[in-house]
Amino acid sequence: MKSKRTIIVVALLAFITGIFLYGYKFDEAQYITQEKHSQVKIYASGEADFERIEQAGLNLDHVEAKDNYVIAWLSSTEIDLLKKSGVPYDITVKDWMQYYNAQPKMTETEMRLAIEHSKNDFNVSHSIYGSMGGYLTFQEVINKLDSMRLEYPGLISAKFSIGNSFENRPMWTVRVSNSPDAPTGRPEVWFHSLIHAREPMSMEQNIYFLYWLLENYNIDPYATYILRYRELYFTPVFNPDGYEYNRSTNPNGGGMWRRNRKPCTGNIGTDMNRNYGPYAFWNWSGGGSSTSCGSDTYRGTLPFSEPETNNAQLFVNSRNFKGVLSYHTYGNYFIRPWGYSGLPSPDENIFQNFSADMVLQNQYTVGRSLQTVGYTVRGTTDDWYYNDSGHAKIIAMTPEVGTSSDGFWPPQNRILPLAQSTVWSNIYFALACGGYTAPERTSLNKLSYSPGESGSLKVNFKNKGLIPAQNVKIELNSQSPYINISGATFSYNS
């Protein structure tokens, strides 16, 4: 009789376990296929229109602003909310995945030629192409960091984690300088990307800039100076769980999951670029994030409630960063604080001067979020980095790489051009986060000179950096055999 009862109990436990496991699989299955997304032209031209959209429960993000409309990629749920707002719109691309899958794929020959052009134009011979529709997977990024360390051990540290994600993946980071194995006390700059999991181009440009620095040391004067006099940190995949989720659902690329993977009430995921503090910014009465779990701009339960943002908070407070660039896609913008209020920061002039020089080559639009995309955002990286709460004030900006036609997953043949488009911006930012003296104006006393005639050249220099420039040596050299410059060496501090 005892043995029969044991058999019955074991059978009952097995039955209950089977129900539980079946329920778990069924519950998880709703997240296996991602929601349909469409490109939408929204005829919102003023704050009143954006307020109507927000009041309907839709918090826009990553739009490209035109004169009287904005372009955005929205999920079916978000389009329903847009419809509820009453703001007119047109759907310009019905199905993102059909659109993405129809994009031309590069052949191996085309990729090889693109890398050859990269070598000729930027002296970067390493590939940044990966197996996920041309983009690097999380594991491939890890492999790249490891191979960089093996090839350039005197310029890049072994990877280290600034903390683990909700699903226990490391947030791998590297230190880059000509003395990479320990902090140097030099001005520190942090570059991070993929805080939004559907924006792999943000990561690709950081990997490319890493290669540009490593391959051009002792070749290019900017790369050499930066690695000798700055200390750079790179966290290419800020949101490893979300990025891995996109790989699992869309192994050929194109996955549109944005948030992290920590469960919330009735859904999964927090927008980590709405989860930063301080509390007054995170909870700003003007809106700029969602309080609804399931929204792509869900802000979380409290500032830094997510493991990943808390890791970033601890990391920043442990370092002495002068500047941070938090890379995103898309819009061709350089966005500066304040995001939560839309008002100018106390250092508006510094931000303006920085961004004006940073966009000389790529011609990105610069401004605060209210100026660039037309609405405010609260709980962002830039506002907390810039606000001196637990750390010294940091000059922080958000570059948005690519246009609306590039989208979140630009075509493969756009990967290298877009990565190259940010190289100068990154160079300038790294330079200006320390002391950086550069010529501002030049003038001659005459427009033309006869053979043998002397003249005067006036050059105005300015320290465009954040800290005093020490032991500056200026040399003026002629590149023409017909011009001789005398007395052209100067030294000073600024």
Tokens of 287: 């809106």
Q: What is the 3-state secondary structure (H, E, C) of 340-404?
A: CCCCCCCCHHHHHHHHHHHCCCCCCEEEEHHHHCCCCCCCCHHHHHHCCCCCCCCEEEEEECCCC
Strands 70-75 and 267-268 turn out to be unpaired
Task: Find the catalytic residue in 108, 231, 400, 453.
Answer: 400
Q: Which long-range contacts (CB under 8 A, 24 or more apart) does 106-109 make?
A: 106/134, 106/412, 106/413
228 burial type by CB count under 10 A (0-12 exposed, 13-18 middle, 19+ buried): middle
Q: Is 167 in the active site?
A: no
Rounded to whole angstroms, the maximal C-alpha distance in the chain is 120
Helices of type H across 199-335: 200-216, 221-229, 240-249, 279-282, 307-318
Task: Give CA 317 to chain center in angstroms.
Answer: 20
DSSP-derived secondary structure for 174-223: EEESSSTTS--SS-EEEEE--SSTT-HHHHHHHHHHHHHHHHHTTTSHHH
Whether 254 and 133 have beta carbons less than 8 Å apart is answered as: yes
DSSP-derived secondary structure for 97-147: HHHHHTSPPPPHHHHHHHHHHHHHHH---S---BTBTBBPPHHHHHHHHHH
Cα separation, 262 vs 69, whole angstroms = 34
Distances, alpha carbon 49 to alpha carbons 37, 69, 87, in Å: 22, 10, 7
Cα separation, 336 vs 349, whole angstroms = 11
- Residue numbers annotated as active site: 400
